[in-house]
Amino acid sequence: MIITPRPLAKGSRVAVIAPSGPIRGDQAVVEQTIQKCDEMLRAWGIEPVFYPTTRKKYGGYLAGTDEERAKDVMDAFLDPEINGIYCIRGGYGMQRILDLLDFEAIKKHPKWFGGYSDITALHIVLNQRCNLVTYHTPMPSTEIIKEDFDDYTASWLKAAMFGDLTGGLIDELPSFTPVYSLWEQKGVCEGHLCGGNLSLVSSSLGTPYAIETKGKILFLEDVHEDVYRLDGMLNHMRLAGLFEDCVGIVMGYYTDCGTPDDETKLEQVCKDLFPKNKPVLMNYSCGHQRPTMSLPLGANMRLDTEAGTLSIM
């Protein structure tokens, strides 16, 4: 049975962790960033608790050793005084610590969990092994403290945090990124939402933590990838049977992917590789750019490519 964790509320204590990459900059910049994150979250009524990895660096691109980052994840889930867990940023390193986590213990302590990008690796396992709904959301140090953090993105993030992410999740930015069905024949399907960052989903294959798409709606997004790289990752998934197993596909933002001079566009790649009998929604406003929606991974959803919507069942 899928567990939807209790939403956050005013006064909730939220563990802010860095299970992947470190906050960029010297120690003074790190402290300034943490202070800004603290002020922003407190302004929303949340009491953030910054765990050790938010101030650590290891090897230049990790927020502490594998053991330190795994400890923060476990400590946050097991602390009875903590109501939710929020990843301060993505980067790289989440897949390195998966075999250091105790998922049976986590399953007994379900909590609100948010983040995206490299955090996709943990979303997949929390959804599949712990039967826990988690939230694909922008993160504190890379989005919410930025001067251009917009009201649209903030409203979706707050809805995900405070339990207001319900019913139809309608993309309200048609002029920014028009949503459309990949196929002329429109379709409707229902299933649990899975996925996240394409690079992480693809690299999970062949491991004990591989994504499972049987009977599910698959959401994918990415950033800074050439079209041939997207083609390679999507084809890897096709050969692994993930597109045949899923009931539908939602393609989010593909930010800074390819150039106007690319002869093969992502849309053509999708037409070449996706099953033509599955509903596919393109350009859904979620991913590595703003404005962006927040999505409940693991939740039971309905995809309607005629209406261009995802709905929580």
**Catalytic sites, residue numbers:** 117, 221, 288
**Distance between CA 228 and CA 118 in Å, rounded?**
21
Which 3 state secondary structure label does DSSP give 39? helix
Q: Are 51 and 72 in contact (CB under 8 A)?
A: yes
- How far does CA 310 lie from the centroid of its chain? 16
Angle among Cα 64, 69, 74 to the nearest 5 degrees reads 160
**Distance between CA 107 and CA 207 in Å, rounded?**
21
Give the N- to C-terminal CA distance of the chain in Å, as an integer: 15
The amino acid sitting at 238 is R
Ordered DSSP codes for 226-253: -HHHHHHHHHHHHHTTHHHHSSEEEEEE
> How many Å is the maximal CA-CA distance in the chain?
55
